């Protein structure tokens, strides 16, 4: 199975939050929910270079990422992509990621309504991002898939 | 000095343990990190995680893991409970699915966050 398989692509297209599992240099596990975009066979997940996810990828490039369509009325389907990742901090990549993320998460009817409903928090969101920028720069975790699998569907907890 | 925080106390995230919108377990294998969707039961204050019997590689009792329970799509709806701990063997939680191997996650660090509660707090670093 690969990322071009229609069933896989359908999940990547509709899923909004990926959960990326990483290991530290000493082998300690971590898993973090992150926004992502799919681009030319690769997965780009947005974070900052000071986060555990980014630092772990720099220490050990192996990753395992879960994707699941939120609010899917159908049976639960979970996609797992394992592969190798790298941390990108180049401006061209970051601009491209930001444009795609804006289209996917903000410039949609649901996204616009969400931000309008939370206008009072936008100032704090701005400060929160600025605070993060003081600790390091925004980055992309770029995942090159090596193994793609649809996990058996079962009712979960 | 103030900073903006997304963190919440565990009581405020208790509903995630009761509803379990989505949960996964992460652990190390020889081939690299493994993320597995899990069934989760919060019973008498214990975190019981069930992996399907056919899961590709089961963790071992005593192994360090991270259990993540999260929900939300849009920014201010994103909430999560991040539990780092060790696995202990557990018998099947009562009244739940068969066909799973059950573990207890014995936590040693727990963090909860909710972007809908962004607020200024005193920086105590």
pLDDT digits (tens, 9 = 90+) for A121-135: 999 999 999 999 999
| pLDDT (mean) for A18-38 | 98
- Return the domain boundaries, chain B: 2-117
Mean pLDDT of the region A138-154: 90
Residue B74 pLDDT > 70, yes or no?
yes
Distances, alpha carbon A29 to alpha carbons A142, B29, B33, B35, B83, in Å: 19, 10, 7, 10, 11
The answer, yes or no, to whether residue B96 has pLDDT greater than 80, is no
Pairing of strands A29-39, A42-48: antiparallel
pLDDT score of B48 = 94
Query: pLDDT value at position B103?
Result: 93
Task: Give the least confident one: A15-29, A84-98, B1-15, B84-98.
Answer: B84-98
> For chain A, which residues lie within 8 Å of any Cβ of chain B, measuring from their own Cβ?
16-17, 19-23, 27-33, 60, 62-66, 68, 70-71, 78, 80, 82, 105, 110-111, 114-115, 118, 121, 124-125, 127-128, 131, 149, 151-152, 154-157
* Three-state SS at A121: helix
Of B36, B117, B113, B116, the closest CA to residue B82 belongs to B113
- Residue B122 in contact with partner chain A when CB distance is under 8 A: no
Nearest CA in chain B to A119: B76
Q: Give dist(CA B50, CA B37) in Å, integer.
A: 9
Query: How far apart, in Å, are the Cα atoms of A18 and each of A76, B68, B96?
Result: 15, 12, 27
Distances (CA, A) of A37 to A68, A69, A100, A107: 14, 14, 7, 14
pLDDT of res. B93 = 63
Residue B118 to residue A125, Cβ atoms within 8 A: yes
pLDDT of residue A137: 94
Chain B residue numbers touching A70 (CB-CB < 8 A): 22, 73
Write down the domain spans for chain A.
Answer: 6-151
Does 3.90.1150.10 match the CATH number of domain B2-117? no
Q: Is the pLDDT of residue A157 over 50?
A: no
Helices (H), chain B: 14-19
Considering the segment(s) A6-151 as one domain, its CATH architecture is Roll (2.30)
User: What's the predicted TM-score (pTM) here?
Assistant: 0.94
């Amino acid at each position: 199975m690969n990322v071009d398989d229609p069933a896989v692509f359908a999940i990547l297209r509709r899923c909004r939050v990926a959960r990326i599992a990483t290991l530290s240099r000493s082998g300690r596990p971590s898993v973090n929910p992150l926004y992502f975009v799919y681009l030319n066979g690769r997965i780009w997940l947005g974070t900052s270079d000071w986060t555990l996810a980014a630092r772990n990828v720099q220490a050990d490039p192996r990753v395992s990422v879960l994707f699941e369509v939120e609010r899917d009325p159908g049976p639960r389907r979970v996609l797992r992509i394992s592969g190798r990742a790298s941390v990108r901090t180049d401006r061209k990549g970051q601009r491209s990621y930001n444009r795609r993320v804006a289209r996917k998460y903000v410039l949609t009817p649901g996204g616009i309504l969400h931000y309008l409903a939370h206008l009072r928090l936008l100032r704090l969101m701005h400060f929160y991002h600025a605070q993060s920028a003081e600790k390091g720069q925004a980055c992309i975790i770029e995942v090159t898939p090596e193994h793609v699998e649809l996990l058996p569907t079962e009712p979960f907890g | 000095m103030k900073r903006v925080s997304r963190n919440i106390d565990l009581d405020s995230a208790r509903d995630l343990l009761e509803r379990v919108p989505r949960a996964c377990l992460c652990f190390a294998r020889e081939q690299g990190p493994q993320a597995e969707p899990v069934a989760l039961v919060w019973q008498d204050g214990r975190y019981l995680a069930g992996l399907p019997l056919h899961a590709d590689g089961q963790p071992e009792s005593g192994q360090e893991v991270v259990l993540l329970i999260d929900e939300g799509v849009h920014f201010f709806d994103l909430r999560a409970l991040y539990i780092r701990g060790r696995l202990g063997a557990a018998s099947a939680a009562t009244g739940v699915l068969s066909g799973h191997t059950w573990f207890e996650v014995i936590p040693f660090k727990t963090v909860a966050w909710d972007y809908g509660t962004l607020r200024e707090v005193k920086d105590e670093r």
